[in-house]
């Protein structure tokens, strides 16, 4: 099908705005990677009116899709890890056009996965893990077990992603297959939650007990980026933290994470007087025992 699609990308590839074109073909009986299409063309461009432009094509009994993606949108997805399919398309796709080895260099960067980038992504996953875990615990304590279950499944997913990144890999669409090889104890935790014959209440009760251990063991590596950033200043307001460019990838989950880290004595409050009597500002700094 690659040759049939040649006219679609060939003309665009000759334009100076086009940086790279990749081809991804559906593997036998695997629809997840290509969203049920037989083939995907991914075109990366410097400029585009909207962040992404999509076109669908049909040839005889086959379907294809063209994604034209603006470069800054692609980099945002890769930085945040918010579009797993794009990550896999880049790492697994066949290069059809590559201006100045743009995509080759990008593939090398993704494969190397520098430690500083890993820290950011692990912190983002840990922040989401804490947010989901705390909500799940709240619903469990309120005896709303189905809602608790929903949040716990998401929490385990973030724990699995964190573990994969910790091992130096990017999470894929088959996250549980990845983590089964790298950290089978986390996979077993997930398996017991969904396959156990215990009541839902009992399953959740056991899982919360076990999760405490895993969360505790991942706290240092999962918050290293935040604590290193906070160590650069004596104290921070919550607005300072949320507005800091280095923390943007997980700023939406920062408030819950800060409260958790205060409870665990990784961060401490700094009480600052206001103009009003008996009311104080809460500022934050890295706890002395953590420094």
- pLDDT tens-digit map of 249-287: 999 999 999 999 999 999 999 999 998 888 999 999 999
Comma-separated ranges of CATH 1.20.120.330 domains in the chain: 115-286
Question: Which class does domain 115-286 fall in?
Answer: mainly alpha
Structure tokens, 108: 């090398």
CA 64 to each of CA 24, 73, 87: distance values in angstroms, whole numbers, following the listed order:
10, 22, 19
pTM of structure: 0.85
3-state secondary structure of 43: strand
Residues of the chain with pLDDT below 70 are: 29-31, 291
- Specify the pLDDT at position 134: 96
Cα–Cα distance for residue pair 127/249, rounded to 1 Å: 10
Structure tokens, 190: 């997930």
The CA-CA-CA angle for residues 176, 177, 179, to 5°, reads 60
- Specify the pLDDT at position 251: 94
Cα–Cα distance for residue pair 85/117, rounded to 1 Å: 19
- Specify the pLDDT at position 31: 65
Cα–Cα distance for residue pair 117/115, rounded to 1 Å: 5
Please, what's the b/e burial string for 188-203 (b: 16 or more CB within 10 A of its CB; e: otherwise)?
ebbeebeeeeeeeeeb
- Specify the pLDDT at position 84: 83
CATH topology of domain 6-112: Beta Polymerase; domain 2 (3.30.460)
Query: In 3D, which of 197, 109, 126 has the Cα closest to residue 166?
Result: 126
The alpha carbons of the chain give a radius of gyration, in whole angstroms, of 23
Cα–Cα distance for residue pair 21/237, rounded to 1 Å: 45
Comma-separated ranges of CATH 3.30.460.10 domains in the chain: 6-112
- Specify the pLDDT at position 106: 93
Query: In 3D, which of 89, 87, 49, 84 has the Cα closest to residue 66?
Result: 89
Residues 6+ apart with CB under 8 A from 158: 125, 126, 128, 129, 132
Query: In 3D, which of 154, 147, 144 has the Cα closest to residue 190?
Result: 154
Quickly list DSSP for 34-84.
TTT-SEEEEEEES--SSSEEEEEEEETTEEEEEEEEEHHHHHHHHHHT--H
Cα–Cα distance for residue pair 128/121, rounded to 1 Å: 11
Structure tokens, 170: 């990017």
């Amino acid at each position: 099908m690659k040759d049939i699609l040649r006219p679609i990308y060939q003309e665009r590839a000759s334009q100076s705005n086009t940086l790279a074109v990749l081809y991804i073909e559906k593997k036998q009986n695997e629809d997840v990677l290509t969203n049920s299409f037989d083939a995907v063309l991914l075109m990366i461009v410097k400029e585009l009116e909207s962040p992404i432009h999509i076109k669908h094509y049909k040839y005889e009994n086959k379907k294809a899709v063209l994604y034209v993606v603006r470069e800054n949108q692609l980099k945002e997805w890769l930085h945040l890890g918010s579009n797993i399919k794009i990550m896999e398309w880049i790492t697994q796709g066949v290069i059809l056009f590559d201006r100045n080895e743009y995509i080759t260099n990008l593939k090398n960067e993704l494969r190397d996965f520098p430690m500083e980038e890993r820290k950011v992504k692990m912190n983002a996953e840990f922040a989401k893990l804490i947010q989901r875990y705390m909500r799940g615990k709240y619903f469990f304590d309120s005896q709303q077990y189905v809602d608790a279950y929903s949040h716990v499944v998401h929490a385990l997913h973030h724990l699995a992603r964190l573990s994969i990144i910790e091992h130096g890999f990017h999470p894929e669409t088959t996250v549980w297959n990845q983590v089964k090889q790298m950290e089978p104890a986390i996979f077993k935790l997930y398996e017991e939650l969904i396959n156990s014959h215990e009541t839902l209440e009992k399953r959740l009760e056991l899982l919360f007990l076990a999760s405490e251990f895993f969360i505790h063991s991942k706290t240092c590596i999962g918050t290293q980026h935040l604590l290193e950033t906070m160590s650069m200043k004596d104290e921070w307001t919550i607005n300072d933290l949320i507005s800091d460019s280095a923390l943007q990838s997980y700023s939406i989950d920062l408030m819950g994470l800060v409260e958790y880290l205060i409870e665990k004595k990784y961060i401490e409050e700094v009480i600052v007087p206001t103009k009003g009597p008996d009311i104080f500002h809460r500022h934050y700094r890295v706890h002395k025992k953590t420094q």
